[in-house]
């Protein structure tokens, strides 16, 4: 009923296409008028490419006939230009759009996206995307399948590494920053790419964290948690969207008119095109919502998917469907129109070819590597530092490095590493040897990544006993996260924990460095290890960043964008949960919402991260005591570096709508700022809270600021902090 009402309102409202460039639309219309149905379907077809190999001959044939609109993963200017030449020999000379997964770098690899989000510094992600775009553009790529903006609340899901974590606000800020980074203000400029917000929708809500699995999410949670980063991408002008693999409330995302047309186009005014995910249209058959290719095409195209990735149900079935009157030519035309719109906005007709510049002029430029280093520095999260153990002194004579990840070049880059080359990566061992040219830096693997055998433990432990300090490089290999890499345990793999405990028992100053693509369960390690540094998959320059941090040349200042649970049974565990009618405030009362065998609280909460200095927050103030529902309020707080060295703190602002017509989360992040302060330095940080931050969907799914008390929390993580409150008046 609600959906029908919204539809009726939209039909009555003026068209959303007012912002379209009429001259461009006329040009598209003229071109469309000259196209045969086969040529139209050609524009809706994307084929998978062979990477660095030349495209197969049947691709050139299809291109020459105008039957190939886009190719993914064809790399190298020569390969790209050869196929483009064939497309330009076609009757209407419509260029092919070349796309690739440029997720966290093309050749210079930046920290994986979740790690970048741990920097809480969106300008850094924007710059990373800009550099990735420049390198990819130089190689002939014009479209990236990024940013991935899926919210993930389940660390079993391997693709959590590709997004910005669990929070819709942080996720939205990073989504917008990355779109700006890839596209700039005008993506037809050389060095920019068309971006693609993916995977629409609720792909990250896969049940049990199993990739591609069903999602079943209420409309409220979709609109409040899973949709906002996508909306932020639309508002930032993202050129394209990708429809997801999963089904959602009974409808696969690649055949869902509510998400693809009602929300995306009608409510949000998105003007670009939607590409399906890899064969996700053909997969409608396996989902059981289509009997055959024709049924799949008929479910996807009218729902709002415009371009088909890899499978070819449109190409194969649409002519008959149109002929039989089951599909209107207008539906086909609209999809083609959207694809041509983006090709034209991209300037592809004017500049279809890749420039063939020498690699040294376009890839891994010194300033790109410096940016990747800064990004890795700022993504590091110091989870624990008792003693303090870190930073180590540079005067030490013998450093022993143990663990399977000290010298794994590929895992430094992480999954989705573009055209990144493992041999470019600085490993932790490289970084440490460069940092300590006169010390003896000895490496003992202890075991391989799966760590099934303890055969190498004794040697490592012996070496640790004679060391001045020890670094344990533990975690996951890059293949353990990313696509199709869900884990049913998020512990350290195999016997890595036992290796760590044996080495820690040697009693030397020891720091654990974790390389991993997801939050892990680290309770035992946390109990035994004095210092833990989360390095994620830090990219090409990661080894230098970690070595700098271990020896105090970089002061870690990142914060977790995802909760680290104590144990897997707590999952899904996220900070912005509801209070329930029985919050677990009294540990002795049985009948509360809690476990009998575990605390509710995580090991490390969202927003957590330490530093080599200390910070204090004080004087949280609000500039008003009451505001009308349309009003804004300013919250200010002072942050002071109370410790011995310069460092970064991320001041985080949360709200809670204390009484509302619908239950609200116990906290919601609404602002943050990363500041760098010298010892003793203070800064006043301000956050504006208006209807956008204070509102929520009411029972009729209308965005509204409800009267009543709001609490405001200023903290250095999602737990604790200073508190104030104000009232929203009824008028
Ligand atoms: C992934 C997408 C990716 C596409 C093309 C799919 O399997 O889900 O994220 O963009 O492949 O590589």
Residues 179/147, Cβ–Cβ less than 8 Å: yes
CA 727–ligand 1 middle distance (angstroms)? 46
| E-strand stretches of 509-632 | 510-515, 531-534, 615-622, 626-627
- 396 and 544 housed in the same domain: yes
Which residues, judged by CB distance below 6 Å to any ligand atom, belong to the binding site of ligand 1?
A: 72, 101, 145, 198, 277-278, 483
Residue 565's pLDDT is what? 98
What CATH number is attached to the domain comprising 715? 2.60.40.10
| Ligand 1 pocket test target in 71, 101, 486 with most atoms within 8 Å of CB | 101
Identify the pLDDT of residue 300. Answer: 98
pLDDT value of position 587: 82
* 424: alpha, beta or left? (left if phi > 0; alpha if psi -120 to 50): alpha
Residue 14: per-residue pLDDT? 40
Q: Which residue, by CA, sits nearest to atom 2 of ligand 1? A: 277
Q: Dump pLDDT digits (tens) for 269-317.
A: 999 999 999 999 999 999 999 999 999 999 999 999 999 999 999 999 9
Clarify whether residues 510 and 391 are in a common domain: yes
Domain range enclosing 712:
615-728
Number of structural domains found in the chain: 2
Query: Over 60: is that where the pLDDT of 17 sits?
Result: no
Q: Examine the domain organization and report whether 432 and 536 are in the same domain.
A: yes
CA distance linking residue 481 with residue 565, whole number of Å: 17
Which string of DSSP letters, residue by residue, matches 204-243?
GG-GGG-TT--B---HHHIIIIISHHHHHHHHTT--EEEE
Distance CA 297, CA 289 (A): 11
DSSP 168-208: HHHHHHHHHHHHHHHH-S-TTSTT--B-EEEEETTGGG-GG
Instruction: Report the nearest atom of ligand 1 relative to the CA of 244.
Output: 8
Q: In which band, very low, low, confident or very high, does the pLDDT at 515 lie, cut at 50, 70 and 90?
A: very high
Same domain, 646 and 718: yes
Domain co-membership, 548 together with 428:
yes
Predicted local distance difference test score (pLDDT) of residue 301: 98
Judged by DSSP in three states, 673 sits in strand
Domain boundary among 552, 570, 588: 570
26: which residues sit within 8 A by CB, 6+ positions away?
A: none
Residue 314 belongs to a domain? no
- Cα of 27 to ligand 1 centre, how many Å? 32
In a domain, 380, yes or no: yes
Q: Is the pLDDT of residue 12 over 50?
A: no
What would the pLDDT profile of 50-107 be if each residue is shown by its tens digit?
Answer: 999 999 999 999 999 999 999 999 999 999 999 999 999 999 999 999 999 999 999 9
Q: Is residue 64 part of a domain?
A: no
**Helix H or strand E encompassing 41:** helix 37-43
Q: Is residue 300 part of a domain?
A: no
* Phi, psi angles (nearest 5°) of residue 83: -70, -40
Shared domain check, 678 and 539: no
- Evaluate whether residue 265 is within a structural domain: no
Closest residue CA from atom 8 of ligand 1: 277
Residue 72 lies in a domain: no
pLDDT of residue 10 exceeding 70, the answer is no
* 141 Cα: distance to centroid of ligand 1 (angstroms): 16
Same domain, 520 and 657: no
Which residue minimizes the CA distance to atom 4 of ligand 1? 278
Last residue of a domain, one of 538, 570, 602: 570
Is the pLDDT at 28 greater than 70, yes or no?
Answer: yes
Q: How many residues does the chain have?
A: 731
CA distance 609 to 665: 22
- Residues recognised as catalytic: 277
Q: What percent of the chain has pLDDT over 90?
A: 96
What percentage of the chain's residues is helix, strand, coil (to nearest 5)?
Answer: 35, 20, 45
Residue with tokens 């960043």: 545
Question: Nearest residue CA, atom 7 of ligand 1?
Answer: 278
143-144 vs 97-100, strand pairing mode: parallel
- For the chain, give the percent of residues with pLDDT over 70: 98
Q: How far is the CA of 554 from the centre of ligand 1 (A)?
A: 35
ω into 201 cis (within 30 of 0):
yes
Could you tell me if 494 and 635 lie in one domain? no
What's the token pair of residue 465? 């006993």
Q: What is the per-residue pLDDT for 357?
A: 87
Q: Is the pLDDT at 7 greater than 50, yes or no?
A: no
> What pLDDT, in 10s, does the model give residues 547-594?
999 999 999 999 999 999 999 999 999 999 999 999 999 888 999 999
The whole-chain average pLDDT of the chain stands at 96
Looking at 507, 538, 570, the residue that finishes a domain is: 570
pLDDT, mean of residues 146-162 = 98
C-alpha 450 to ligand 1 mean position (Å): 26
Q: Do 482 and 625 lie in a common domain?
A: no
Question: From ligand 1's centre to the CA of 296, what distance in Å?
Answer: 19
> Could you tell me the distance, in angstroms and rounded to a whole number, from the CA of residue 150 to the centre of ligand 1?
13
């Amino acid at each position: 009923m609600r959906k029908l009402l919204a539809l009726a309102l939209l039909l009555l409202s003026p068209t959303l296409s007012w912002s379209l460039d009429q001259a461009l639309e006329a040009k598209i219309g003229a071109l469309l008028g000259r196209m045969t149905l086969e040529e139209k379907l050609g524009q809706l077809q994307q084929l998978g490419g062979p990477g660095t190999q030349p495209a197969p001959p049947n691709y050139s044939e299809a291109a020459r006939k105008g039957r190939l609109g886009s190719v993914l993963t064809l790399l190298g200017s020569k390969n790209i230009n050869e196929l483009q030449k064939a497309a330009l020999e076609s009757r209407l000379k419509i260029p092919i759009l070349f796309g690739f997964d440029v997720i966290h770098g093309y050749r210079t690899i930046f920290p994986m996206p979740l790690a970048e989000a741990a920097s809480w510094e969106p300008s850094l992600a924007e710059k990373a995307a800009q550099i990735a775009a420049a390198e990819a553009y130089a190689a002939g790529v014009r479209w990236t399948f990024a940013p991935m903006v899926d919210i993930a609340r389940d660390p079993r899901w391997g693709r959590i590494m590709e997004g910005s974590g669990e929070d819709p606000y942080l996720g939205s800020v990073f989504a917008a920053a990355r779109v700006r980074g890839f596209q700039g203000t005008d993506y037809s400029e050389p060095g920019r790419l068309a971006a693609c917000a993916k995977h629409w929708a609720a792909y990250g809500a896969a049940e049990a964290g199993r990739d591609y699995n069903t999602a079943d999410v209420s409309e409220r949670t979709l609109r409040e948690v899973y949709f906002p980063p996508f909306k932020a991408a639309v508002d930032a002008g993202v050129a394209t969207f990708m429809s997801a693999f999963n089904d959602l409330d009974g409808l696969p995302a690649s055949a869902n008119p509510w998400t693809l047309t009602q929300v995306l186009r009608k409510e949000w005014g998105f003007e670009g095109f939607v590409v399906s995910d890899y064969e996700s249209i053909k997969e409608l058959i396996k989902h059981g919502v289509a009997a055959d290719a024709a049924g799949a095409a008929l479910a996807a195209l009218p729902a709002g998917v415009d371009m088909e990735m890899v499978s070819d149900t449109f190409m194969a079935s649409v002519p008959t469907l149109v002929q039989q009157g089951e599909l209107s030519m207008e539906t086909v035309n609209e999809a083609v129109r959207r694809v041509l719109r983006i090709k034209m906005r991209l300037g592809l007709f004017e500049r279809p070819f890749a420039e063939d510049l020498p690699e040294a002029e376009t890839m891994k430029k010194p300033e790109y590597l410096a940016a990747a280093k800064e990004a890795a520095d700022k993504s590091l999260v110091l989870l624990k530092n008792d003693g303090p153990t870190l930073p180590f002194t540079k005067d030490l004579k013998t450093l022993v490095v143990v663990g399977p990840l000290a010298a794994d070049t590929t895992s430094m880059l992480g999954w989705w590493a573009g055209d990144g080359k493992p041999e470019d990566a600085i490993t932790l061992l490289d970084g440490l040897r460069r940092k300590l040219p006169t010390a003896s830096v000895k490496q003992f693997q202890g075991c391989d990544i799966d760590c099934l055998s303890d055969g190498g433990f004794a040697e490592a432990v012996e070496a640790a006993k004679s060391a001045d300090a020890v670094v344990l490089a533990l975690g996951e290999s890059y293949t353990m996260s990313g696509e199709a890499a869900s884990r049913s345990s998020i512990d350290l793999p195999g016997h890595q924990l036992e290796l760590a405990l044996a080495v820690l028992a040697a009693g030397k100053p020891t720091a654990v460095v974790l390389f991993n693509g997801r939050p892990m369960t680290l309770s035992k390690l946390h109990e035994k290890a004095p210092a833990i540094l989360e390095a994620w998959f830090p990219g090409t320059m990661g080894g230098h960043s970690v070595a700098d941090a271990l020896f105090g040349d970089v002061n870690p200042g990142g914060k977790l964008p995802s909760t680290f649970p104590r144990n897997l049974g707590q999952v899904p565990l996220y900070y912005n949960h509801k209070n329930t009618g029985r919050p677990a405030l009294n540990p002795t009362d049985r009948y509360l919402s809690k476990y009998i065998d575990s605390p509710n609280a995580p090991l490390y909460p969202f927003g957590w991260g330490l530093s080599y200095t200390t910070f204090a927050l004080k004087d949280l103030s609000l500039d008003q005591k009451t505001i009308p529902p349309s009003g804004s309020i300013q919250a200010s707080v002072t942050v002071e570096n109370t410790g011995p060295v310069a460092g970064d703190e991320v001041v985080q602002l949360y709200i809670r709508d204390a009484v509302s017509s619908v239950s609200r989360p116990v906290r919601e992040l609404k602002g943050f700022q990363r500041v760098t302060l010298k010892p003793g330095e203070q800064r006043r940080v301000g956050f504006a809270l208006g209807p956008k931050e204070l509102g929520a969907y009411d029972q009729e799914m209308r965005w509204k600021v409800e009267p009543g008390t709001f609490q405001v929390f200023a903290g250095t993580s999602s737990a604790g902090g200073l508190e104030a409150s104000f009232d929203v008046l009824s008028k």
